[in-house]
């Protein structure tokens, strides 16, 4: 069994402020270690559940967060960004049996994680077919594009609840809950235990019950915080400006949506 893991940091246990997500900042190291521990737990659980091949995409910011030497020997890690529109799930293709997302977080415009955003901090929200879009949703559709089910997500309670709404078969490990600028989390070691147990269960279950349908037509709406960025994105082929801050875009091919999202700021 071949498993893909996309690992973010803003849904790592305990993480609360931006300096804890930024490489080079003194606050970062503790959460870099925890992010790594959670990815290792997902790998170990997946291997106990039958995974023989695991590819991990480090999917946060520099994409150089995971401490490579801590990973099990038989996994591969994708660091940095190739520029492929799959972005956080770069490397995912039809050859995988299932995908796992770790350290994921609530979407832009939500109040369930103090670090809530969708890809960039410059938007109030992104909607796809009228649904508020998280990175989980966008990346789940990317997985669906290549026919791969997402069987597990770990992160804040908000994203875990959203994930269940998108993909009722998915297993989740909620590790924290945002309230205003604060964050209430479980113990990091307990999170690691739960992630390992859940990953084992997720990959050994019926993977097909986590398959979701890709929308035939995608209508994207992006509300920018800054009208100047909306103006700039309006020149992307097929994009149009509505009012001063909103971009609209439609396509019958979901890959076009990913192209737009990879070029927008
Ligand atoms: Zn991130």
Return the pLDDT at 15.
98
- Going along the chain from its start, the domains and CATH numbers come out as 2-120+134-210 (3.40.50.10780), 218-263 (no CATH)
For residue 170, the CA-to-ligand 1 centroid distance in Å is: 21
Return the pLDDT at 79.
98
In whole angstroms, what separates CA 244 from the centre of its chain?
29
Report the distance separating Cα 43 and Cα 62, nearest Å.
Answer: 22
Is 221 a residue whose pLDDT tops 90?
A: yes
Cβ < 5 A residues, ion ligand 1 = 8, 10, 60
With the CA atoms of 39, 95, 255 and 158 taken in that order, what torsion angle do they form, in degrees rounded to the nearest 10? -30
Report the distance separating Cα 35 and Cα 139, nearest Å.
Answer: 19
Name which of 199, 215, 87 is nearest 151 in CA terms.
199
Q: What is the mean pLDDT of residues 174-201?
A: 98
CA–CA distances in Å: residue 134 to residues 71, 90, 231: 27, 17, 23
For residue 139, the CA-to-ligand 1 centroid distance in Å is: 13
151: helix, strand or coil: strand
For residue 19, the CA-to-ligand 1 centroid distance in Å is: 12
Q: What is the mean pLDDT of residues 240-253?
A: 98
Query: Is-contact 164 172, C-beta < 8 A?
Result: yes
Question: What pLDDT, in 10s, does the model give residues 6-55?
Answer: 999 999 999 999 999 999 999 999 999 999 999 999 999 999 999 999 99
Task: Using a cut of 0.85, tell me whether the model's pTM lies above it.
Answer: yes
For residue 8, the CA-to-ligand 1 centroid distance in Å is: 5
Tokens 């879009």 label which residue? 133
For residue 81, the CA-to-ligand 1 centroid distance in Å is: 13
CA–CA distances in Å: residue 78 to residues 142, 177, 190, 192: 17, 29, 27, 22
Is 265 a residue whose pLDDT tops 90?
A: no
For residue 161, the CA-to-ligand 1 centroid distance in Å is: 19
Q: What is the mean pLDDT of residues 74-91?
A: 98
């Amino acid at each position: 069994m071949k498993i893909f893991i996309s690992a973010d940091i803003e849904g790592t246990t305990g993480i609360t402020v931006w300096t804890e997500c930024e490489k080079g900042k003194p606050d970062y190291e503790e959460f870099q270690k925890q992010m790594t521990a959670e990815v290792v737990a997902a790998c170990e659980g997946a291997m106990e559940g039958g995974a023989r091949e695991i590819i991990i995409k480090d999917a946060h910011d520099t994409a150089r967060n995971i401490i490579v030497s801590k990973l099990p020997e038989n996994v591969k890690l994708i660091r940095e960004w190739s520029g492929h529109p799959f972005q956080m799930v770069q490397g995912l293709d039809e050859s995988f049996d299932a995908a796992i997302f770790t350290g994921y977080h609530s979407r832009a415009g939500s109040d369930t994680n103090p670090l809530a955003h969708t890809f960039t901090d410059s938007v109030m929200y992104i909607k796809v077919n009228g649904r508020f879009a998280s990175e989980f949703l966008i990346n789940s559709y990317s997985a669906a594009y290549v026919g791969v089910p997402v069987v597990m997500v770990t992160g804040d309670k908000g994203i875990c609840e959203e994930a269940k709404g998108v993909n009722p078969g998915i297993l989740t490990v909620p590790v924290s809950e945002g309230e205003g600028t604060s964050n209430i989390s479980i113990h990091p070691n307990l999170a690691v235990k739960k992630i390992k147990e859940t990953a084992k269960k997720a990959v050994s279950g019926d993977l097909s019950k986590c398959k979701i349908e890709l929308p035939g037509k995608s209508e994207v709406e992006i509300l920018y915080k800054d009208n100047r960025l909306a103006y700039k994105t309006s020149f992307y082929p097929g994009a149009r400006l509505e009012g001063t801050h909103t971009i609209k875009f439609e396509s019958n091919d979901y890959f076009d949506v990913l192209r737009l999202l990879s070029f927008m700021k």
